[in-house]
């Protein structure tokens, strides 16, 4: 039965010397950084990067020091052009912020959601070097256990978490939803949270928490 077709290469992503779509995208980012192009979606960045490369822009590689505005403070860190914002937060910061979770690292699940200039983004799809002039808010920046934001407090009250691994992403997405819509309908909440996944099954309690937080914020104490 041991029929042997030719060697199967390149192997899929991350296995045995293969060159993946993602590694290509992250590689392309080095040129964006050098070009000083403002942050944009990964796809747009790739296009710009390719153009810049064609124009002979300088390519940086290896570690450089960058500064990110995280939770209202300027944080210096060393990062490579391909370092994602997620990795910058979780690994590269001298005092890592591990509240932002890595689950799929592919933009499928929303666990790594942070708020950049007021908009929720997947930090696994953002390159840290692109974000040096942006305001980044992570789950740690919303509140502390002693002083929780309305969304965080409502999540606790409604038990909108079980294992808690998707929770930071949902807290950020819910916060962004309420920032955008004020007092959204449940349908709007579902829509705005539809980029996030939970495996324990906390969704109904998250929907309840969003409504409670919206009321609480409407009553003052906006954060």
Partner 1 sequence: MTTQDGGGILPGAGAGADGSTDDASAEARAEWAGRDALTLLNTDIPRVDGPEKVTGRAKYTHDMRLPEMVWAKLVVCPWPRATIEALDVTAARAVPGVVYAEAYKQVGDELTYQGYDGIVAAVAAETPEALEDGVRAVVTGYSRNNPPLVTREQSLADGAPQIGRGDVNMRVESSTGDREETAAALETCDAVIEATYTLPVQHHVCLETHGTVVDYRGGTEATVYHSSQNVTGGARDFARHLELDSENVRVICQHMGGGFGAKFGAGEEGRVACVIARALERPVHLMLDRRQEFLMAGNRSGSRQVMRGGASKDGKLVALSVDAEKFGGMGPGSLPRPPYIYDVGTSFAEVRQVHTATDPNRAQRAPGHPQASFAMECMVDELAYAIGMDPVSFRKANLSDEVWHRQLDRVAAEVDWAGHPNKTTPGQPGADGMAEGIGFGVAVWGSGSRPSTVCDVRIAPDGAISGSTAVQDLGTGSRTLVAAIVAEEFGLGVTDVTAHIGDGKLPPAVYSGGSITTGSIASAIKDGAYQARVLLEPSVAAALGTEPGHLIWLDGRVYVDHALGRSLSWKQACATLAQPILGTGRWQEHLTGRGVHGAQSAKVRVDTVTGRIQVLKMVYIQDMGLPFNRLASRSQINGGMIGALSYGLHEVRVLDEDTGLMLTDGLGDYRIAGPQEIPELVALIDDEDTRQEAMGFAEAPIIPGHGAIANAVFNACGARLRDLPLTPDKVLAALAG
Where does residue 73 fall: left (phi above 0), alpha (psi -120 to 50 degrees), or beta otherwise?
beta
Kindly state whether residue 140 participates in binding partner 1, applying the rule CB under 8 A.
Answer: yes
CB of 185 to partner 1, least distance (A): 13
Q: Count CB-CB contacts under 10 A for residue 92.
A: 21
Tell me: does residue 99 bind partner 1 (CB under 8 A).
yes
Residues 102 and 125: beta-carbon distance below 8 Å: no
Q: Toward partner 1, which CB reaches closer, 1 or 55?
A: 1
The DSSP bridge partners found for residue 76 are: 67
Shortest CB 85 distance to partner 1, Å: 13
Instruction: Give the residue carrying structure tokens 């980012």.
Output: 29
For the record, the structure tokens of 197 come out as 């996944």
Pairing label, strands 73-79, 119-122: unpaired
Residue list 13-42, contact with partner 1 (CB under 8 A): 13-19, 23
> By CB under 8 A, which span of 5-13, 34-42, 50-58, 215-223 interacts with partner 1?
5-13
Of residues 161 through 190, those in contact with partner 1 by CB under 8 A are 161-168, 171, 189-190
- Candidate list 47, 67, 144, 183; residue touching partner 1; CB under 8 A: 144
Q: Which of 95, 130, 125 is nearest to 112 (CA)?
A: 125
Q: Name the minimum Å distance from CB 200 to partner 1.
A: 5
Span from 30-38, 39-47, 197-205, 211-219 in contact with partner 1 (CB under 8 A)? 197-205
Comparison of 49 and 169: residue with beta carbon closer to partner 1 = 169
Tokens of 96: 């890592």
The answer to whether 202 and 179 have CB atoms below 8 angstroms apart is: no
Taking CB under 8 A as the criterion, the residue among 205, 213, 214, 217 binding partner 1 is: 205
Smallest gap from Cβ 77 to partner 1, in A, equals: 12
Q: Exposure pattern of 117-146 as b/e (b: 16+ CB <10 Å)?
A: eeebbbbbbbbbbbbeebebbbbebbbeee
Judged by CB under 8 A, the number of residues near partner 1 is: 79
Q: Is 91 in the site for partner 1 (CB under 8 A)?
A: yes
Q: Select from 27, 39, 41 the least CA-distant residue to 66.
A: 39
Q: Which of 123, 126, 152, 216 binds partner 1 (CB under 8 A)?
A: 152
Residue closer to partner 1 by CB (options 163, 218) is 163
Of 53, 64, 105, 211, the residue at the interface with partner 1 (CB under 8 A) is 105
């Amino acid at each position: 039965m041991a029929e042997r077709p030719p060697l199967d290469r390149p192997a899929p992503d991350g296995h045995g010397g293969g060159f993946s779509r993602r590694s290509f995208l992250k590689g392309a980012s080095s040129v964006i950084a050098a070009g000083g192009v403002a942050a944009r979606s990964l796809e747009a960045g790739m296009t710009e990067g390719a153009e810049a490369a064609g124009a002979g822009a300088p390519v940086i590689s290896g570690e450089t020091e960058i500064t990110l505005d995280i939770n209202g403070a300027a944080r210096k860190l060393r990062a490579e052009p391909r370092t994602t914002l997620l990795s910058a937060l979780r690994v590269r910061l001298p005092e890592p912020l591990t509240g932002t979770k890595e689950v799929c690292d592919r933009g499928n699940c929303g666990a790594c959601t942070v708020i950049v200039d007021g908009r929720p983004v997947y930090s696994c799809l953002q390159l840290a070097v692109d974000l040096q002039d942006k305001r980044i808010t992570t789950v740690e920046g919303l509140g502390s256990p002693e002083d929780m934001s309305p969304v965080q407090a409502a999540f606790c009250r409604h038990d909108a978490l079980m294992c808690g691994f998707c929770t930071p992403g949902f807290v950020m997405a819910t916060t962004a939803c309420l920032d955008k819509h004020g007092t959204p309908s449940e349908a709007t909440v579902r829509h705005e949270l539809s980029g996030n996944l939970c495996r324990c099954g906390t969704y109904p309690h998250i929907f309840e928490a969003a409504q409670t937080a919206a009321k609480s914020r409407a009553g003052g104490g906006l954060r």
